[in-house]
Amino acid sequence: MIEQETLTKRIMKDERTGKAVCPYCGVGCVISATVRDNMITKISADAALAPNYGMLCPKGAHLKQVFQRPDGRLAYPMLRERRGEPPRRVTWDEAIAFIANRLQDIQLAHGKDALAFYGSGQLDTEASYVFNKLFKGFLRTNNVDTNSRLCMSSAVAGYVQSFGSDGPPTCYEDIQHADVFLIIGANMAVNHPVLFQMIRKRRAMEANTRIVTVDPRRTQTAAFSDIHVPLAPGSDVAFLQIIAKRLLAIGRIERRFVRRHTENFNAYQNHLEGLDEDALLAACGIHPARIDELVEYLSKPSRLLSFYCQGTNQSTSGVDKNVALINLHLQLGEVGIRGAGPFSLTGQPNAMGGREVGYLAHQLPGYRVVTNDMHRAYVEGAWRLPPGSIDAKPGLTAVPMFEAAAKGDVRALWIACTNPAVSMPDTKVSQEGLRRADLVIVQDCYYPTETAEYADVLLPAAQWGEKIGTMTNSERLVVRSEQFLTPPGEAMPDWWIFAQVAKTIGFKQSFDFHSSEAVWDEYRMLTAGTPCDQLGMTNERLAKTSLRWPCPHPRHPGTLRRYTRRRFLTPSGKAQFHTPVYRPPEEKPDADFPLGLTTGRVASQWHTRTRTGKVPQLVKKEPEPFVEIHPDDADAYEVRDGEWVYLVSRRGRCYARARVTETIRRGLLFTPFHWGDLFHAETNANNVTTSAADPVSKQPELKFCAVRIEAA
Ligand SMILES: Nc1nc2c(c(=O)[nH]1)N[C@H]1C(S)=C(S)[C@@H](COP(=O)(O)OP(=O)(O)OC[C@H]3O[C@@H](n4cnc5c(=O)[nH]c(N)nc54)[C@H](O)[C@@H]3O)O[C@H]1N2
Ligand SMILES: Nc1nc2c(c(=O)[nH]1)N[C@H]1C(S)=C(S)[C@@H](COP(=O)(O)OP(=O)(O)OC[C@H]3O[C@@H](n4cnc5c(=O)[nH]c(N)nc54)[C@H](O)[C@@H]3O)O[C@H]1N2
Ligand code: SF4
Ligand SMILES: [Mo]
């Protein structure tokens, strides 16, 4: 395999430095690694480079330690004759021929939609482009979805409904100009630490700035804020509408902006005026003083910058929450100007790039959608496919994909760069889907993982630092990562693996990419003229600098802020007011399951811990699963601090060590979802969570389900 050698086997003897986007959160810090003899000797960040200007959080700073533990890497392709048996090493040729044959057999026997692909916002743009092209274009199934469905799909739908297009209007520089920071449903101190550091610096330097955090828990973020609004879980729409209604009542409307650049304001105003403020307040379960304080801040013109993440997205009313927040910005004219706007935080390093590539079940590259005839025809033309090749019907989204596998409708599941046996809501279903499918392909850089236990084929991926690839961070900044490490064994870049299978199936010409740069060039062309235009980001430019889209031609400097002319991407060019109605979370507590459970993250761990779980400095900070419980509830249910308890829901149970604390609301529990079955049987929080989802975005409610607590 000469091609493979030239792509990855560049052992670097001399000490040298390479830079790459941090493989963890969507802040997208650029990290410099000094390497000697294929070992990282130092991790640092360049004070002159966007977006982090020298800052790193402990996860990024401890990347060196990740590579000091070479065990646990998946280094060779492997096949498993029978489930439950150890896999045996095979050559790439064998593995790829096996996959190509099996996919075609299954397609022939059961139809195109018996195939499904489940990917990740941690794959680079090149990889995401190639799998999307293979499945939606050439295997002709839109059964392509990613963990972004569990993460970003409500944010996508919110932006599309209000502005006519996905993607944030804002950039990190806005932090330097904002007056009021509204952080709603995001624990930035923990999950976007470097960005939160920038906010704290601004707060320290400008005495008049204010930070408001809206979260049912008094998080680290809330602790650093001027106001903490400990609202009842799921009540964000009610909360935002009280604020908007009160501001309307005192005439806080940016009338000129509203008249010239928005539509549907009258309906919005009537809707708000008709709402019963007491009922909304009761739904939020907060002291009215919190409302007064925020209304006071916003009653005079002030630059409002709002950050939001899973506390709004992962909800059965996730899209409504996002739209209610954008409504508030439209009412105040706080969008398209410096220091203001609704800023959706992306979780994973390339969740933004994946959206641009169109890797959700209803999307196509360049913010196109499969349901639009012109969009399909354009992409078919670019891919040199006969008209009608791309299905006009959206494919299965994440949860229904695994449900279909559990029913035997989806027969082949290809999973890359995600660990759904741990991270999907209600893991009974995802695990049953994995068990029942005839063919499970798992492409990861580590082995074992919980999902790999179900795999028939294991494909070794090169990981961070071991390949060239491009990612887009939360502020639309597109950054090219360099290769400075040689991957172990025969691990290969993800895009190469997808292209190799495509060529073996018979799509030789369309997947004849010889480098990731060649993939980028093809993708970049497809974005021309779209809202996320990256045509001007040539390989030459990306090798030297990073750029924010839209960037339509090779001399274009990129775009710091969008909508500065107040022209939106709806057919009329005007932003849309909507009239969402507050709905509580779908699952209600009752006598058997009297408590609410919300789930999330800790600062020192990343998701299912395949990397951060190997770094002693990080593990020591949170060594085991825990559950936060209010002292009153601890009394009522006879739970002592530090004791192990079971959380039991209508679907299953998990256990964790009780942490009695006043930082959580009464009636609510919180547990992180980092500890899967490889840590210990029954520690996975997702044994308990519900797959009830937002009706529009299909994003599951990972932020609320009903449970009871039992002694373990
Ligand atoms: N350390 C670390 N950082 C990460 C990650 C990680 O695994 N570890 N993962 C990354 C990824 S992929 C993502 S998506 C982001 C997620 O980043 P965040 O969204 O900040 O993370 P979460 O902890 O899931 O949830 C945020 C907060 O929402 C609150 N919340 C729950 N219900 C509600 C509600 O109804 N309303 C409101 N307003 N708040 C609510 C929770 O109490 C929690 O504090 O983090 C990224 N960064
Ligand atoms: N209860 C609950 N569940 C949740 C959430 C929650 O808040 N609560 N949050 C949801 C959200 S927002 C997210 S984003 C998901 C995250 O959930 P997952 O995506 O399942 O979590 P990760 O552990 O990040 O899995 C990434 C996998 O990719 C592998 N990997 C890393 N780099 C590469 C690479 O370059 N190539 C390949 N092929 N593999 C690689 C890692 O080893 C790891 O196995 O979890 C979701 N699940
Ligand atoms: S803030 Fe996010 S991107 Fe930056 S170093 Fe930490 S985990 Fe990495
Ligand atoms: Mo996420």
Q: Dihedral angle at the C-alpha atoms of 230, 231, 236, 239, nearest 10 degrees?
A: -100
Give me the percent of the chain exceeding a pLDDT of 90.
Answer: 97
The closest-lying atom of ligand 2 relative to the alpha carbon of residue 120 is: 19
Q: Helix 516-526 crosses helix 494-505 at what angle (to 10 degrees)? A: 80
Report the mean per-residue pLDDT for the chain: 97
Nearest of 120, 157, 180, 499 to residue 347 by alpha carbon: 120
Counting beta carbons within 10 angstroms of the beta carbon of residue 628, is it exposed (0 to 12), middle (13 to 18) or buried (19 or more)?
Answer: buried
Q: Would you say the CB of residue 686 lies under 6 angstroms from ligand 2?
A: yes
The answer, yes or no, to whether any atom of ligand 3 lies below 6 A from the CB of 479, is no
Confidence of residue 89 (pLDDT cuts 50, 70, 90): very high
CB atoms within 10 A of CB 103: 23
Other beta carbons within 10 angstroms of residue 541's beta carbon come to 18
Those residues whose C-beta lies under 8 Å from the C-beta of residue 268, and which sit 6 or more positions away, are 327, 331, 577, 578, 579
Is the pTM higher than 0.75?
yes
Cα–Cα distances (Å) from 440 to 108, 454, 455, 630, in that order, read 17, 7, 5, 42
* DSSP code for 704: -
Atom index in ligand 3 nearest the CA of residue 193 equals 1
Give me ligand 1 centre to Cα 314, in Å: 9
CA of 56 to the centre of ligand 3 (A): 6
Asked if residue 4 has pLDDT above 60, the reply is: no
Do 184 and 214 contact (CB within 8 A), yes or no? yes
**Separation CA 93–CA 73 (nearest Å):** 20
Q: Which residues pair with 470 in a beta bridge?
A: 480
Cα 192 to averaged position of ligand 1 atoms, centre (Å): 9
d(CA 459, CA 465): 18
**In this structure, is the dihedral angle defined by the CA atoms of residues 255, 260, 266 and 271, taken in order, positive or negative?**
negative
Residue 66 near residue 611 (C-beta atoms within 8 A): yes
Angle between helices 516-526 and 373-382 (to 10 degrees): 140
Q: Beta strands 210-214 and 180-184: pairing type?
A: parallel
Q: Using 50, 70 and 90 to split pLDDT, how confident is the model at 320?
A: very high
Ligand nearest to the CA of 29: 3
Say yes or no: CB of residue 28 within 6 Å of ligand 3. yes
Distances (CA, A) of 324 to 22, 545, 577, 701: 32, 37, 9, 18
Looking at residues 75-85, what average pLDDT do you find? 96
Sequence-ordered list of residues with C-beta below 8 angstroms from that of 286, at least 6 positions apart, any chain: 229, 230, 231, 232, 239
**Distance of alpha carbon 66 from alpha carbon 613, whole angstroms:** 9
Is ligand 3 within 6 A of the CB of residue 27? yes
Structure confidence at residue 367 as a pLDDT band (50, 70, 90): very high
Give the tens place of pLDDT for each residue, 571-588.
999 999 999 999 999 999
For residue 575, the cross-strand partners are 262
CA distance 683 to 102: 35
Query: Is 55's pLDDT higher than 60?
Result: yes
Q: Is 148 in the pocket of ligand 2 (CB under 6 A)?
A: no
Q: How far apart are CA 351 and CA 168, in angstroms?
A: 13
Ligand 1 pocket at CB < 6 A: 25, 59, 151, 184-187, 190-191, 214-217, 219, 233-234, 236, 309-311, 347-348, 598, 600-601, 603, 605-607, 703
CA of 557 to the centre of ligand 4 (A): 30
Residue 11: predicted pLDDT: 56
CA within 13 Å, CB half, 258: 20
Q: b/e per residue, 281-290, with b = 16+ CB within 10 A?
A: bebbbbeeeb
Q: How confident is the model at residue 8 (pLDDT cuts 50, 70, 90)?
A: low
d(CA 32, CA 117): 33
Structure tokens at 160: 């599309």
pLDDT at 2: 42
| pLDDT tens digits, 159-214 | 999 999 999 999 999 999 999 999 999 999 999 999 999 999 999 999 999 999 99
SS3 content of the chain, % helix, strand, coil (to 5): 35, 20, 45
Neighbours of 407 (CB within 10 A): 11
Neighbours of ion ligand 4 (CB under 5 A): 151, 347
Identify the burial level of 273 via C-beta atoms within 10 angstroms of its C-beta, where 0-12 means exposed, 13-18 middle and 19 or more buried.
Answer: exposed
- Å from CA of 620 to ligand 3 middle: 19
Between the CA of 108 and the centroid of ligand 2 the distance, in Å, is 32
Return the number of other C-beta atoms located less than 10 Å from residue 60's C-beta: 22
Matching residue, tokens 């150890």: 86
Q: Whose CA is nearest to atom 10 of ligand 2?
A: 150
Per-residue pLDDT, averaged over 130-138, amounts to 98
Q: Calculate how far, in angstroms, residue 571's C-alpha sits from the geometric centre of ligand 1.
A: 34
| Sheet strand arrangement including 16-21 | 16-21, 30-36, 39-44
The answer on pLDDT for 343 being more than 70 is: yes
The DSSP annotation for 431-462 comes to HHHHHH-SEEEEEESBSS-TGGGG-SEEEEBP
135 Cβ neighbours under 8 A, 6+ residues apart: 115, 117, 141, 142, 143, 144
Residue minimizing CA distance to atom 4 of ligand 2: 423
β partners of residue 364? 368
Instruction: Tell me the pairing of strands 115-119 and 88-89.
Output: unpaired
Q: Cα separations (Å) of 564 from 225, 329, 337, 341?
A: 29, 14, 6, 11
Q: Which residues contact 460 (CB under 8 A, 6 or more apart)?
A: 73, 74, 75, 76, 77, 444, 445, 487, 488, 489, 490, 491, 492
Q: Name residue 44's beta-bridge partners.
A: 32
pLDDT value for 570: 98
Q: 460 C-alpha to center of ligand 4: Å?
A: 23
The pair of three-digit structure tokens given for residue 529, joined into one six-digit string: 């003229």
Percentage above 70 pLDDT, the chain:
98
Ligand 2 pocket check for 607: Cβ under 6 Å = yes
d(CA 513, ligand 3 centre) in Å: 31
Query: 59 CB less than 6 Å from ligand 3?
Result: yes
How far apart (Å, rounded) are the C-alpha atoms in residues 536 and 556? 6
How far, in Å, from the CA of 475 to the mean position of ligand 3? Answer: 14
pLDDT for the residue 12 = 56
State the closest ligand 1 atom to the C-alpha of 190, by its place in the atom list counted from 1: 1
Question: With bands split at pLDDT 50, 70 and 90, how would you rate the model's confidence at 69?
Answer: confident
Alpha helix positions (H), 451-565: 494-505, 516-526, 539-544
CA distance 277 to 582: 12
Residue-level pLDDT at 14: 75
The pLDDT value given to residue 1: 46
Strand duo 644-648 + 653-660: pairing: antiparallel
Mean pLDDT value across residues 212-237:
98
Cα separation, 667 vs 654, whole angstroms: 18
Length of the chain counted residue by residue: 712
Helix (H) or strand (E) holding 385: none
Q: Which ligand is nearest to the CA of 468?
A: 2
What separation in Å is there between the alpha carbon of 423 and the centre of ligand 4?
10
- Atom from ligand 3 closest to the CA of residue 192: 1
Contact 568, 163 (CB under 8 A): yes
Residue to probe by mutation, ligand 2, list 126, 355, 500, 610, most atoms within 8 Å of CB: 610
Q: Rounded distance, CA 142 to CA 135, Å?
A: 7
Can you tell me which atom of ligand 2 is nearest the CA of 609? Answer: 23
Residue type present at position 11: I
Write the CB contacts of 325 (distance below 8 Å, at least 6 apart in sequence): 158, 182, 184, 236, 240, 306, 308, 312, 342
**CA pair distance 300, 315, nearest whole angstrom:** 32
Q: Does any ligand 3 atom lie closer than 6 A to the CB of residue 24?
A: yes
Supply the DSSP string of 15-78, one letter for each residue.
-EEEEEE-SS-TT--EEEEEEETTEEEEEE--TTSTTTTT---HHHHTHHHHHT--TTB--S-E
For 95, other C-beta atoms within 10 Å of its C-beta total: 24
Backbone angles phi, psi at 257, to 5 degrees: -60, -45
